[in-house]
């Protein structure tokens, strides 16, 4: 069984229902050949969408992935590359940065996209996201950058990350093209975007949000809190009822069950965990099971 594909929006890219996030790639200790093997294994499971950002690994992860992809360039036609820009870190790899800040100027967006293309060793990005809301964002200037990159064929689709509904609407109001996603934090431990209108907006617009940190950054397994303990018990009970599914599989299935067609971004480089995650799509939670996990997270019944 392989992970299914969906269209993020009516005019959006086709992506795998799970994405592999490369945030921690620099710490995985993989050679170029080993990373290529992992990419192959993920794609064999149907996970063809790879999530990057220019800043990941202190500005190194895109280049690491690009080196592996260069060993077998034909894989590019079968995958979707997502990356983000707009954050400037203080880093030895960016010696001109003197303070961590945001930059959504036209010049920076275009330059960042060009650099990501070079690092990833590709001629196009399937999806480029503004990484964080910028209080100095000029939506008309962002629109100019997006239009230039789209017309040049260097970026096929655009979206945002961590935007509130009003921030999303502001940028969308200046664009002729469609923003196809909002990548936000969502897990059984952190459900804020299900309450604040963010996911509701995606449903209204017919776009699929992406969920970063769908395992709560691993806190679901490590945290010594009442919420984490309640969740582990609830997820284990649901997993047992579904045929001995693991806690992490049920946590992913809980996100996948939402009608917004959310795309969780996996944060692991361990093949066995990726394989387990791929099996989560086959888990069908009942409403009662879904809400038992909700109750475990909030510590109370629904009103």
Per-residue model confidence as pLDDT tens digits over 267-301: 999 999 999 999 999 999 999 999 999 999 999 99
Looking up residue 33, the CATH number of its domain turns out to be 3.20.20.100
Q: What pLDDT does residue 220 have?
A: 80
- Given the residues 7, 56, 59, 102, select the one marked as catalytic: 56
**pLDDT tens digits along 203-229:** 999 999 999 999 988 878 887 899 999
Whole-number Å distance between alpha carbons of 132 and 184: 10
Instruction: Assess if residue 136 is contained within a domain.
Output: yes
Instruction: Assess if residue 74 is contained within a domain.
Output: yes
Encode burial over 199-232: b for 16+ CB neighbours within 10 A, e otherwise. Answer: bebbeebbbbbbbbbbbbbebbeebeeebbebbb
Q: How many domains does the chain have?
A: 1
> pTM score, two decimals?
0.97
**What average pLDDT does the structure give for the chain?**
97
Instruction: Assess if residue 72 is contained within a domain.
Output: yes
What pLDDT band is residue 101 in, cutting at 50, 70 and 90? Answer: very high
Region of 100 on the Ramachandran plot (φ > 0 left; ψ -120 to 50 alpha; else beta)? beta
Question: Could you confirm whether 102 is annotated as catalytic?
Answer: no
Instruction: Assess if residue 186 is contained within a domain.
Output: yes
Q: What pLDDT does residue 219 have?
A: 76
Rounded mean pLDDT, 119-125: 98
Instruction: Assess if residue 94 is contained within a domain.
Output: yes
Specify the DSSP element, H or E, that contains 51. Answer: strand 49-51
Asked whether the beta carbons of 274 and 221 are under 8 A apart, the reply is no
Instruction: Assess if residue 303 is contained within a domain.
Output: no
What range does the domain containing 225 cover?
5-298
Q: Which residues contact 183 (CB under 8 A, 6 or more apart)?
A: 51, 84, 129, 159, 160, 161, 162, 209, 210, 211, 212, 265
């Amino acid at each position: 069984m392989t992970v299914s594909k969906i269209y993020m929006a009516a005019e959006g890219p086709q992506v795998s229902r799970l994405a592999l996030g490369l945030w921690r790639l620099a710490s995985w200790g993989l050679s170029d050949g080993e990373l290529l093997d992992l990419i192959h294994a993920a794609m064999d499971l149907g996970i063809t969408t790879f999530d990057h950002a220019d800043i990941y690994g202190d500005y190194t992860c895109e280049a690491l992935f690009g080196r592996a992809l260069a060993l077998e360039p034909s894989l590019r036609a079968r995958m979707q590359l997502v990356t983000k820009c707009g954050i400037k870190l203080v880093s030895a790899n960016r010696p001109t940065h003197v303070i961590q800040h945001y930059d959504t100027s036209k010049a920076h967006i275009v330059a960042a996209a060009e650099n990501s293309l070079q690092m990833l060793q590709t001629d196009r990005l399937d999806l480029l996201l503004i990484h964080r809301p910028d209080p100095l964002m000029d939506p008309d200037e962002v629109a100019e950058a997006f239009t230039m990159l789209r017309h040049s064929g260097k970026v096929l689709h655009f979206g945002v990350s961590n935007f509130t509904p009003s921030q999303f609407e502001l940028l969308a109001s200046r664009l002729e093209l469609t923003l196809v996603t909002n990548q936000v934090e969502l897990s059984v431990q952190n459900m804020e975007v299900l309450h604040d209108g963010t996911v509701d907006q995606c449903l209204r617009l017919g776009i699929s949000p992406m969920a970063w940190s769908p395992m709560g950054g691993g806190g679901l397994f490590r945290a010594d809190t009442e919420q984490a303990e309640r969740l582990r018990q609830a997820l284990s009970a649901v997993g047992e009822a579904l045929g001995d599914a693991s806690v992490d599989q049920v946590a992913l299935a809980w996100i996948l069950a939402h009608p917004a067609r959310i795309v969780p971004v996996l944060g692991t480089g361990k093949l066995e965990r990726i394989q387990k995650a791929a099996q989560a799509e086959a888990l069908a939670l009942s409403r009662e099971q879904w809400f038992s996990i909700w109750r475990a997270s909030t510590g109370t019944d629904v009103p």
